[in-house]
Amino acid sequence: MSKLLIVVFAALIWTLGSIGMAQDTDNHDCGDEPAAHDEHHDQAADLDHDDHDDDGHDEDVDHDGHEDHDGKGVIELGPAAVELGGITLATVGRGRIGRSIDLPGEVGFDEDRLVNVAPRFPGIAKEVRYRVGDYVNAGDVIAIIESNESLSTYEIKATISGWIIKRYINPGEFVSEENSIYVIADLSKVWVNLAVYPRDAEKIKPGLNVHLSAVGSAAETVWMIDYVTPVMNVETRSITARVVIPNTGNTWRPGTFVRARVKTDPGEDGLIVEKNAVQVLDDEHIVFVTDGPGRFKPVPVAVGGSDTEHTRILAGLEQGMSYVATGAFELKAKIVTSSLSGHAGHGH
C-alpha cells in the first residue's frame, strides 16, 4: 500500500512540473513579439527618414545647376585685366559693305607732263649744267651748244618745271636736233596704271573709286579711275585702268608697285561692326556686348558681307549698342578654356 502511494505521488509531481514548463515557454514567446515589432517599426522609420534626406539633397543639386545655366558665357574682368587683354569698345553704327576687286599696279610718269629736250641746231656741247635728279624751273638754261653752221653758241632752256630724269649729253659731245639731250618730268601729278585681266574687264569702268597703297611705304590714297584702255596688251594679256593722282611732296615715285582695291558695288546701308569683333563660338557667330562695368556677354548674330575693316550685321544687335571692338578673341578663349576645365560660364 505504501509503495503504491509513493508511485502515484511521484507521477502527480511529474505531471505538475510539465504543465509549469509549458506555461513558461508560452509566456516567453509572448513577451518577445512586442520587442520584434518595435524593432521593425524603427527600421521602417529610419528608411523613410533616409529617403526623405536623399530627396532633399537632389533638390539642392538641381537648384545649383539652374544658376550655372543662367550665368553661362558672361565674363567679368577687372580694369587691369581689361587693359592687359587689349580690350577696346566701340558703338554699333551704320555703313556700307560693298564688293571690290584687288588689282596690281605701278606708278608711272604723267606722259602729258613729260618733255624731251632737243637742240635746235647740230653742234658741240660747250656746257652741260644739270644732272639726273636735279630740279629745274621753266626758262632755266640747261645747256650751251656751239652751232656747226655759224660757229656761234646758243642756249637750250627748260620748257617746263620739273625733274631731270634722263640726260643724253656730256661736255664736248656732238649733239643733233634729231636726238633728245634731256628728259624733264613734271611730277606734280602721276599716273597709276592698274593691270585688269579679262575676267574683271567688264566690271572696271571710269569713275569707280579705288583705294591705292604703295608697296613698301605708308603712302595711300582714295581716287577715281580716269581712263580704261580699249585694247589689250599682247604681252601681259591685260588692259590698263589709269588713275591720275596729285603727287604733293613726291610721295608717289614712278616705278613703285601699288596694290589697288576697286569698289565695283557700293552695297546697301546697314549695321556694321569692326571685323575682328565677330568671332565663332560653338559653330555660331557672336559679338561681345557690354553687360555692365567689366562684364562682357556673347550675343549670337547673323552676319552679311565683309570688307577689310568691317562686317555687316543682319540680326542680333541694335544701333548704338556698346561692343568689344578689339580683344574679342581673348574673351572667346576664356570661355573655351573655362568649358574645358569644367567651369563653363565663369570667366573669373
Span 100-129, pLDDT tens digits: 999 999 999 999 999 999 999 999 999 999
Residues 23-79 have pLDDT tens digits of 444 444 434 444 434 444 444 344 344 443 444 434 333 333 333 333 457 899 999
pLDDT band at 312 (very low <50, low <70, confident <90, very high): very high
- Give the torsion sign (CA, 203, 205, 211, 213): positive
| CA dihedral of 321, 90, 259, 112, whole degrees rounded to 10 | 90
What is the predicted pLDDT for the residue at 308? Answer: 81
Closest CA to 89 of 293, 280, 284: 293
Percent of all residues in the chain with a pLDDT value above 90, rounded to a whole number: 68
Residues 228-274 have pLDDT tens digits of 999 999 998 999 999 999 998 899 999 999 999 998 988 889 999 99
Q: Compute the average pLDDT of residues 301-326.
A: 94
Backbone angles phi, psi at 155, to 5 degrees: -95, 145
Q: Is the pLDDT of residue 159 over 50?
A: yes
Closest CA to 99 of 194, 201, 209: 209
What is the predicted pLDDT for the residue at 20? Answer: 43
pLDDT band at 340 (very low <50, low <70, confident <90, very high): low
pLDDT band at 178 (very low <50, low <70, confident <90, very high): very high
Q: Is the pLDDT of residue 341 over 80?
A: no
Q: Compute the average pLDDT of residues 270-297.
A: 95
Residues 215-226 have pLDDT tens digits of 999 999 999 999
Q: What is the DSSP letter of 299?
A: E
Q: Is the pLDDT of residue 185 over 90?
A: yes
β-strand partners of 245: 190
What is the predicted pLDDT for the residue at 342? Answer: 53
> What one-character-per-residue DSSP string does 212-246 give?
EEETTSS-EEEEE--EE-SS-BTTTTBEEEEEEEE
